[in-house]
Structure 1
Amino acid sequence: MPYRRIRGTTPYIEAAARRLRVNLTPAEAKLWEALRGKKLDGFKFRCQHPVEQFILDFYCPSCKLVVEIDGEIHRDRQEYDQARTEKLEILGYRVIRFSNDEVMNHLDDVLERIRAELKRP
């Protein structure tokens, strides 16, 4: 059995998360610029954060909020994404999803929706 780390990850998943952090998609890079360094109302976010077998696009630890950006590949993965969301919710996370188009063309609206989730108890 492989050594399990905090959050149930493996060294393989953690290495994959590190690789993804330096190869963000354009939409991820745009949203990360708006979230990093506590720019959104003082909330800390992590980028490409490993949890169990998953890598979360963005994660706010104080609210257990997961923000996922779905590109074209997700059109064919809706069942997988739904199962993944359900598993994360069982673990106590809240998940919200945005399309690449929403982030690239309506960033202010995306940030407002994230703000609303951050304020939810």
Structure 2
Amino acid sequence: MRPQIKLPLARKLRREMTPPEVMIWSRLKGAPNSELRFRRQHPVGPYVLDFYCAKVRLAIEIDGQVHGLETVVQMDERRDMWLRSQGIDVIRINAADVMKDADAVAGIIWDSAFSRLQR
């Protein structure tokens, strides 16, 4: 699927973010390092990524309960494999972890992004 086809979906998803996504976005949008900038609900190939930092080619996916279902796990694996084939690393984070401690989760995301920047 071409990226321009995914653009309307990405815009819709930006307007309808889940509470964990909103919590993480509020911590990612004010970048402590001007070299790193995250985008939310960003289309890449046939997918829309929850968060993406192009500078370090890092995707962040916030997974709710549905991601525990076998069919969804298989789709996530195919998606991650495709993204890796494009040189994009994926970090999957459980939505429940965000709800428990969004600051800690955001810290993990920033640490991962900064470490990739140093490579």
TM-score with structure 2 setting the length: 0.87
| Structural RMSD (CA) | 1.5
Matched with 2:109 is 114
Unaligned runs of 5+ in 1: none
Whether contact under 8 Å (2:60, 2:91) holds in the other structure is: yes
Matched, 1:23 2:16: yes
Secondary structure of 1:37's aligned partner: coil
Q: What do the CA deviations read for 1:54-77 (whole angstroms, capped 9, x no partner)?
A: 000000111111000001111111
Mapped pair 1:14 → 2:7: yes
2: distance between equivalents of 1:41 and 1:30? 19
Distance of 2:106 and 2:24 partners within structure 1: 9
Percent identity, aligned pairs only? 35
Q: Which runs of 5+ in 2 are unaligned?
A: none
Name the SS of the counterpart of 2:103 in structure 1.
helix
User: Is the contact made by 1:10 and 1:52 (CA closer than 8 Å) also made in structure 2?
Assistant: no
**How does the TM-score come out when normalised to structure 1?**
0.86
Aligned residue for 1:34?
27
